[in-house]
Amino acid sequence: MSALLQVRGLSHHYGQRIGCQDVSFDLRPGELLCIVGESGSGKSTLLKTAAAQLAPSAGSVRYRQRDGDWLELDELSEANRRRLAREEWGFVTQNPRDGLRLNVSAGANVAERLMALGMRNYGQLRDIARGWLERVEIDPSRIDDAPTAFSGGMQQRLQIARTLVTQPRLVFMDEPTAGLDVSVQARILDLLRRLVNELGLAAVMVTHDLAVARLLAARTMVMQGGRVVETGLTDQILDDPQHPYTQLLVSSVLTT
Amino acid sequence: MTAAALSGSAIAASATSPSPMLELRGLGKSFELHHQHGARLDVLDNVELTLHASECVVLSGPSGAGKSSLLRVIYGNYRPSRGAVRVRHDGDWLDLAEATPHQVLEVRRRTLGYVSQFLRVIPRVPALDIVAEPLIEAGLSTPEARQRASALLHRLNVPERLWQLPPGTFSGGEQQRVNIARGLIVSRPLLLLDEPTASLDADNRVVVAELLEEARAAGSAVLGIFHDEDMRDRVATRLFPMRPFQIA
């Protein structure tokens, strides 16, 4: 099966400091890849650079479009990059407040990305928004409430609905369950797992939680100091870690 | 994958003349513990085994002989340190020790099944869906997958009132039966079983033994660990003795 995303030798530097360095990976359709590592290991920088939100200092990102043609992200105009992010990709931020528009209703948050794709029928937009609120387990009667009236877990589910409503082919997620209660986290992970399967999404997810990787991702990359130190099958990385840093990471997890 | 392949008829063709399905050659495994002063733990050395279609080989030997580790090395949870794990996948031989993660995932999806002793529960997912999931991944419709999952759970005497509940709160025996159902619902040509009947009563062990006999009749090759002697005598066509790896 052919890849959907090809990342080769990707680096992003903040001045002299390394954000991420020389990272390569392939992502296939329907596949969820986790990036794990401690705070400051470069996970989020890698995610944002792969998603073309940060400019690479070196390396390349290629994306295979619906029509089968490869796009070199580097060669795209800013307008085309934005079109791609709007029409074929999605991005879920750690803090839902960064990914939502807080001054418009929940329904408008979901419908907005569809409107950006040209859908104008109000009744239809409202029906789709209501359907998606239900799908992420938010009471549809709250369609006209502002997200500021929602709990953190609800806001995160709303952001997921807003991101997935356009049926993106590729989703980038930056710690989508960090900072949430464990019960809320389980609900969101279950939701993501189901939606990824149902919609056949490809996704790259950053997490510092190895249990999340075990639950969701068949493959995992481990980062330390901006570099990938180990990559492979998630169960192999967790059951038989090879790199000293991965061994430390795995042995530091509390088991209940 | 088609429904015909799932029912086992695709592998039945090879059942008439027992053909090798798995070849372990010079297989070894050592763990290097970087944070324990670089200690090295040797668990397997030079394992040689050929497993044929329709046979059930049971690993025997004392605790610490590396039986579970061997299954994990074959499945790929553990990375082999030396040697080859050759699997017949779609008619071709593939060395899992050299395979890419994507290749290993493909082999696990269609060729190689693994039933561990414990169910890894997924929060909030009902038992029925946990069992049906491998069928849906193999391309069956959700209603059909749920129907087959119901039949298998029924056969394993899991009470119907539990099917819509996540198995986190089930008893050990109930969880183990959900786990067996999930592991056996798709018929795969190669099955690895790590004490799947440890916490089952005699009646349910008989059901598992029958399921394994049916899998073998359909051409599956089985490699397993069974500590219970009755169970071992009933399912094994051959024993493979193992002993703790001697450190020179």
Q: Between chains, do A240 and B35 touch, taking CB under 8 Å as contact?
A: no
Q: Between chains, do B77 and A235 touch, taking CB under 8 Å as contact?
A: yes
Output the pLDDT for position B9. Answer: 46
Q: How far, in Å, CA of A192 to CA of A9, rounded?
A: 29
Q: Which of the pair, A11 or B1, is modelled with greater confidence? A: A11
Residue in chain B closest to A217 (alpha carbons) equals B105
Helix (H) or strand (E) holding A132: helix A122-135
Token look-up 């079109």 returns A83
Best of A180, A233, A237, A246 to substitute, by most chain B Cβ atoms within 10 angstroms, is: A233
Burial group, residue B23, by CB count within 10 angstroms (0-12, 13-18, 19+): middle
Interface membership of A2 toward B (CB under 8 Å): no
Question: Distance between terminal CA atoms of chain A?
Answer: 39
Q: Does the pLDDT of residue B4 top 50, yes or no? A: no
Q: How far apart, in Å, are the Cα atoms of A182 and each of A185, A186, B74, B182? A: 5, 6, 34, 26
Output the pLDDT for position B15. Answer: 45
| A56: three-class secondary structure by DSSP | coil
A184-217 tens-digit pLDDT: 788 888 888 888 888 889 999 999 889 889 989 9
What torsion do the CA atoms of B158, B164, B168, B172 make, to the nearest 10 degrees? 0
Mean pLDDT of A22-50: 95
Question: Percent of chain A beyond pLDDT 90?
Answer: 77
Residues B33-57 as b or e (16 or more Cβ within 10 Å = b): eeeeeeeeebbbbebebebbbbbbb
Q: How far, in Å, CA of A236 to CA of A2, rounded?
A: 24
Q: Residues with Cβ < 8 Å from B50, sequence gap 6 or more? A: B20, B22, B23, B24
Q: Where are the alpha helices (DSSP H) in chain B?
A: 3-6, 9-12, 67-75, 101-110, 127-137, 142-155, 172-184, 202-217, 229-235
Output the pLDDT for position A181. Answer: 80
Q: Between chains, do B101 and A215 touch, taking CB under 8 Å as contact?
A: no
pLDDT tier at A162, thresholds 50, 70, 90: very high
Q: How far, in Å, CA of A249 to CA of A223, rounded?
A: 11
Q: Does the pLDDT of residue B128 top 80, yes or no? A: yes
Q: How far, in Å, CA of B137 to CA of A152, rounded?
A: 32
Helix (H) or strand (E) holding B40: strand B39-52
Angstroms from B109 CA to nearest CA on chain A: 12
Is residue A247 within 8 Å of B84, Cβ to Cβ? no
Output the pLDDT for position B12. Answer: 47
Q: Between chains, do B79 and A236 touch, taking CB under 8 Å as contact?
A: yes
B59-80 tens-digit pLDDT: 999 988 999 999 999 999 999 9
Q: Residues with Cβ < 8 Å from A7, sequence gap 6 or more? A: A23, A24, A25, A26, A27, A50, A59, A60, A61, A62
Is residue B28 within 8 Å of B45, Cβ to Cβ? yes
Residue in chain A closest to B166 (alpha carbons) equals A190
- Concatenate the DSSP letters of all residues of A170-204 into one string: EEEEESTTTTS-HHHHHHHHHHHHHHHHHHT-EEE
Output the pLDDT for position B49. Answer: 97
A 187-226 → B contacts, CB under 8 A: 187, 189-190, 193, 197, 214-215, 218-219
| Sheet containing A202-206, strands listed edge to edge, beginning at the edge strand earlier in sequence | A89-92, A170-174, A202-206, A32-36, A219-224, A227-233
Query: Which residues in chain A are contacts of B68 at CB distance < 8 A?
Result: none
Token look-up 């296939």 returns A28
Residue in chain B closest to A237 (alpha carbons) equals B77
Output the pLDDT for position B43. Answer: 93
Tokens of B198: 């440890």
Question: What is the predicted ipTM?
Answer: 0.88
Output the pLDDT for position B37. Answer: 86
Output the pLDDT for position B17. Answer: 60
A39-81 tens-digit pLDDT: 899 999 999 999 999 999 999 999 999 888 999 999 999 999 9
Is residue B70 within 8 Å of B47, Cβ to Cβ? yes
Mean pLDDT of B162-170: 94
**Beta-carbon count within 10 A of A83 CB:** 14
Is residue B205 within 8 Å of B197, Cβ to Cβ? yes
Token look-up 């870690």 returns A241
Mean pLDDT of A108-137: 93
For residue B123, give the nearest of A190, A243, A251 by CB distance: A190
| A19: three-class secondary structure by DSSP | strand
Query: Which residues in chain A are contacts of B31 at CB distance < 8 A?
Result: 240
Q: How far, in Å, CA of A107 to CA of A50, rounded?
A: 30
| Sheet containing B20-33, strands listed edge to edge, beginning at the edge strand earlier in sequence | B39-52, B20-33, B82-89, B92-95
Q: Between chains, do B122 and A215 touch, taking CB under 8 Å as contact?
A: yes
Query: Which residues in chain A are contacts of B105 at CB distance < 8 A?
Result: 218-219, 233
Output the pLDDT for position B246. Answer: 58
Token look-up 């703790």 returns B244
Output the pLDDT for position B55. Answer: 96
Mean pLDDT of all residues belonging to chain A: 92
Q: Between chains, do A247 and B136 touch, taking CB under 8 Å as contact?
A: no
Mean pLDDT of all residues belonging to chain B: 90
B 21-80 → A contacts, CB under 8 A: 31-35, 72, 76-79
Best of A33, A136, A157, A235 to substitute, by most chain B Cβ atoms within 10 angstroms, is: A235
Residue in chain A closest to B133 (alpha carbons) equals A197
Q: Does the pLDDT of residue B248 top 60, yes or no? A: no
